Amino acid sequence: MSLITLGIESSCDETGIALYQMGTGLLAHALHTQIAMHSEYGGVVPELASRDHVQRIVPLIRQVLHEGGVSLKQVDAIAYTQGPGLGGALLVGASVANALAFALDLPTIGIHHLEGHLLSPLLSDPAPEFPFVALLVSGGHTQLMRVDGVGEYQLLGETLDDAAGEAFDKSAKLLGLDYPGGAALAALAAQGHPNLYKLPRPMLHSGDFDFSFSGLKTAVLTLVRNSDDGPQTRADIAHAAQEAIIDVLAYKARAALAHTGLDQLVVAGGVGANRLLRERLTRDIEKRGGRVFYPDLEFCTDNGAMIAFAGALRLARQQGDKHYRFNVKARWNLQELNHAG
């Protein structure tokens, strides 16, 4: 029987639990999102996030075991998000993972949240093969990475200020939409007319693979202040904001493929759920003979499946251990993983 890994994600505002079995695939997964709870405050409240993870995590583990038809005794290892993220929220997952593993005498493995996102397209069929370029676009990160294998990550470029997800969220907020706003802005943009407003494409021709989105937010703010607040105008501005973000992401992703000479692009992270971004990337890159891979929509945003999966791949490399520990890493550079192999 091949190994069964229980995966626990609790780095931000989603409690995600999953069971992954090598050779078989995903056995079960479940997610509780706290978006409704935080939206009242216009953003994630860390203390509330931690308390909610505490309440959700054990019932969700029970649910996933039940749905997967797996008893705790059949679990071979426990993977959890060790960072980066909110310290308190991470500690909830780390504590449950290590306590459970200690009680069951199982190995644990702490997973880097972004590695989870990076590898999540490998859960889909067809899956990309190493090496590939990854465009990682989440609420907190915008990075282009060369991926040669598990634990072989080379940063090509990243955002110098706001992430693409933040650019979506902040523009959405300026347009009066609820947090986290990315999907709502995309929906509003669909009602907008193209080419009415021209917003800046920061660093488009900087000649590297870095991004900057904070100027875009300022430009949206200026536009909102100087326009009427009718629904059509708001939709037109949303359209322009989305176009600007997508243009920059698509241009730099293409440039990264050209630079590395690779022909596969993997898109991961919450913004990867954006339909227009997907259409643009697929069109641009297939035209040049390349291929684009996306995680299934439900695995674009935070989830337990990507953590169980990354854990399974690392455990297959003998990287789990029984040194139970609670040293979560609120900040953690993905490239530190390269030394660990």
Residues that bind ligand KG4 (CB under 6 A): 12, 138-140, 165, 168-169, 180-183, 186, 269-271, 273-274, 301-302
Q: Does 14 contact Zn ion by CB under 5 A?
A: no
- Residue nearer to Zn ion on the CB measure, 285 or 308: 308
Stretch that binds Zn ion, among 122-130, 152-160, 186-194, 295-303 (CB under 5 A): 295-303
The size of the interface with Zn ion (CB under 5 A), counted in residues, is 2
Tokens representing 323? 């040194």
State the amino acid at position 95 in one-letter form. Answer: S
- Residue nearer to Zn ion on the CB measure, 68 or 269: 269
> Beta strand pairing status for 25-33 and 14-21?
antiparallel
Tokens representing 87? 């310290």
- Residue nearer to ligand KG4 on the CB measure, 99 or 183: 183
Picked from ligand KG4, Zn ion, none, the partner binding residue 182 (CB below 5 to 8 A depending on kind) is ligand KG4
Helix H or strand E segment including 226: none
Q: Does 302 contact Zn ion by CB under 5 A?
A: yes
Picked from Zn ion, ligand KG4, none, the partner binding residue 140 (CB below 5 to 8 A depending on kind) is ligand KG4
Q: What single DSSP character describes residue 330? A: S
Show contacts with Zn ion in window 162-181 (CB under 5 A): none
Is-contact 49 88, C-beta < 8 A? Answer: yes
Phi and psi dihedrals of 146, rounded to 5?
A: -95, 125
Residue of the chain from 120, 138, 143, 242 that contacts Zn ion (CB under 5 A): 138
- Residue nearer to ligand KG4 on the CB measure, 146 or 278: 278
Would residue 110 be called left, alpha or beta, if left means φ above 0 and alpha means ψ between -120 and 50 degrees? beta
CB of 139 to Zn ion, least distance (A): 7
> Residue-wise over 35-47: b if at least 16 C-beta within 10 A, else e?
eeebeeeeebbbe
Tokens representing 279? 């259409």
> Beta strand pairing status for 142-149 and 152-158?
antiparallel
CB of 306 to ligand KG4, least distance (A): 10
- Residue nearer to ligand KG4 on the CB measure, 106 or 177: 177
Picked from Zn ion, ligand KG4, none, the partner binding residue 266 (CB below 5 to 8 A depending on kind) is none
Picked from ligand KG4, Zn ion, none, the partner binding residue 183 (CB below 5 to 8 A depending on kind) is ligand KG4
Picked from Zn ion, ligand KG4, none, the partner binding residue 273 (CB below 5 to 8 A depending on kind) is ligand KG4
Torsion of CA 53, 57, 60, 61, to 10 degrees: 160
- Residue nearer to ligand KG4 on the CB measure, 4 or 60: 60
- Residue nearer to ligand KG4 on the CB measure, 93 or 181: 181
Tokens representing 270? 């919450």
- List the beta strands (DSSP E) in 127-218: 132-137, 142-149, 152-158
Three-class SS of residue 134? strand
